[in-house]
């Protein structure tokens, strides 16, 4: 460590941990406050008068608390990931893998559609005039409203499983950031670079493949992280709104409908962790590709 220079710990770990600590404290306080109502009701019914420490203790042990405390959620998460068999319907790993599959299919579809639309928009005037307005309008329609329609339609065209409509919903959200970035990236070469290729008598296809496509890569990579996050949100929303019975989104819904707050919260955290892993993975792949393309280390 260089003297005088703060370590990585002070720079990146400590701030995050501080925020987490504050959140945990607030969470415990809120849980005690919210869950104590039930404890007092029970005590009143039994005719006892619990001390404050008894109340606090009780608020953290309820089976169906209004707001489970962090260690209860952690325990539930541990139980449903490590303790349960992966094949069990109660396993978050199993549920998460379903959401993951939807996310990845939606992401792949979204990236392909996003690139294709960007290429059409950049290369042809007709594409620009006809596609661009629709692409923007598409993002103003709430996906929750479209979800049932997508389910019905994909059933009608004979898609057997729910995977197809869910992946379409995920792709619907994830194509947009890729398209916008790719349009920007493909049009990023300046006049000088285009003139240079003209002096070589280069064809339009050469300009596209040798200049526009490689020049767009940094923009593309930057959009992937946003896109995978959007695909994940789309997958969860898809599970919530297609009356799916499996997947993390479905688990959340089931948890809320059957009054199982622990399941709901555990599914929520499983979703957050999965999203973090996805974004981190995409970020790592991006770093490797950047280096392969001769990027200057930062």
Partner 1 sequence: MTSPVIDVSGVDLTFQTNDGPIHALKNVNLEINKGDFVSFIGPSGCGKTTLLRCIAGLETPTGGDLTVNGLSPEDARKARSYGYVFQAAGLYPWRTIGGNVKLPLEIMGFSKEDQTERVRKVLELVDLAGFEKKYPWQLSGGMQQRASIARALAFDADILLMDEPFGALDEIVRDHLNEQVLKLWARTEKTIAFVTHSIPEAVYLSTKIVVMSPRPGRITDIIDSPLPKDRPLNIRDSAEFIQIAHRVRDGLRAGHDE
Interface residue with partner 1 among 211, 231, 235, 270 (CB under 8 A) is 211
Tell me how far, at minimum, the Cβ of 297 lies from partner 1, in Å.
9
CA-to-CA dists, residue 183 to 45, 123, 128, 180, 239, angstroms: 66, 10, 10, 5, 31
Q: Which stretch binds partner 1 (CB under 8 A): 109-117, 190-198, 238-246, 266-274?
A: 190-198
CA atoms of 96 and 102, how far apart (whole Å): 10
Residue pointed to by tokens 């285009």: 194
294 forms part of the interface with partner 1 (CB under 8 A): yes
Q: Is 222 in the site for partner 1 (CB under 8 A)?
A: no
Near partner 1 by CB under 8 A: residue from 3, 47, 158, 201:
201
How far is 235 from 98, CA to CA, in rounded Å?
Answer: 9
Taking the least distance from each CB to partner 1, the nearer of 127 and 218 is 218
193 binds partner 1 (CB under 8 A): yes
Q: Does 108 bind partner 1 (CB under 8 A)?
A: no
Rg, Å, the chain Cα set: 25
DSSP 69: -
293 binds partner 1 (CB under 8 A): yes
Concatenating the DSSP letter of every residue in 110-155 gives HHHHHHHHHHHHHH-HHHHHHHHHHHHHHTTS-HHHHHHHHHHHHH
**Toward partner 1, which CB reaches closer, 138 or 188?**
188
Q: Is 206 in the site for partner 1 (CB under 8 A)?
A: yes
By CB under 8 A, name the binding residues for partner 1: 192-193, 195-202, 206, 210-211, 214-215, 217, 293-296
């Amino acid at each position: 460590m260089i003297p005088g220079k703060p370590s990585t710990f002070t720079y990146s770990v400590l701030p995050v941990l501080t925020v987490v600590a504050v959140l945990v404290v607030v969470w415990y306080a809120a849980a005690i406050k919210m869950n104590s109502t039930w404890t007092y009701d029970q005590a009143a019914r039994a005719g006892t008068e619990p001390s404050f420490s008894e109340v606090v203790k009780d608020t953290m042990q309820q089976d169906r608390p209004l707001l489970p405390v962090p260690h209860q959620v952690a325990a539930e998460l541990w139980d449903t990931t490590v303790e349960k068999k992966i094949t069990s319907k109660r396993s978050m790993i199993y549920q998460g893998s379903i959401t993951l599959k939807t996310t990845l299919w939606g992401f792949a579809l979204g990236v392909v559609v996003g690139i294709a639309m960007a290429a059409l928009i950049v290369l042809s005037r007709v594409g620009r005039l006809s596609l661009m307005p629709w692409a923007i309008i598409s993002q103003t329609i709430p996906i929750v409203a479209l979800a049932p329609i997508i389910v019905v339609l994909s059933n009608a065209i004979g898609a057997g499983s729910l995977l197809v409509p869910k992946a379409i919903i995920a792709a619907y959200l994830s194509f947009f950031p890729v398209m916008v970035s790719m349009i920007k990236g493909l049009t990023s070469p300046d006049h000088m670079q285009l003139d240079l290729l003209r002096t070589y008598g280069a064809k339009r296809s050469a300009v596209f493949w040798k200049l526009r496509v490689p020049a767009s890569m940094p923009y593309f990579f930057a959009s992937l992280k946003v896109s995978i996050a959007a695909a994940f949100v789309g997958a969860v929303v898809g599970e919530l709104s297609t009356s799916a019975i499996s997947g993390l989104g479905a688990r959340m819904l089931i948890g809320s409908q059957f009054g199982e707050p622990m399941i709901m919260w555990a599914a929520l955290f499983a979703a957050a962790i999965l999203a973090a892993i996805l974004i981190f993975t995409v970020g790592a792949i991006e770093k490797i590709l950047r280096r392969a393309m001769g990027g200057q280390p930062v």
